[in-house]
Amino acid sequence: MSKTLFEKIIDRELPATIVYEDEQCIAFRDINPGAPTHILLVPRKPMPTLGDATPEDQNLLGHLMLTAPKIAAAEGFGDAFRLVVNNGAAAGQSVFHLHLHILAGRPMKWPPG
């Protein structure tokens, strides 16, 4: 099975502007931003969609949720950011490796979609 775009970034086979990384995840700037600040937070563990998560992934998912605000704060948006997870093609997911979008830097509207 071939690597996803995100696995290639994690393995440094493709360039990215990395803003954070630790043993469980990596975060980098989106090349097609939907907001002035648009960062993708990606687990190192390949997981196609959130729907593919298992109970064993609970700690990893919690880690992502706790890491996102740290990244937003480091970018200057500690109290004003949006977190988005697309699950499946019909929901707008285009890279099938779970990732969180951290969006900030402009007013957000509701509903988002």
Annotated active-site positions, please?
99
Measured CA to CA, the distance from residue 113 to residue 93 in angstroms comes to: 13
Measured CA to CA, the distance from residue 70 to residue 57 in angstroms comes to: 20
Measured CA to CA, the distance from residue 88 to residue 86 in angstroms comes to: 6
Measured CA to CA, the distance from residue 45 to residue 111 in angstroms comes to: 31
Which parts of 11-79 fold into alpha helices (H)? 58-74
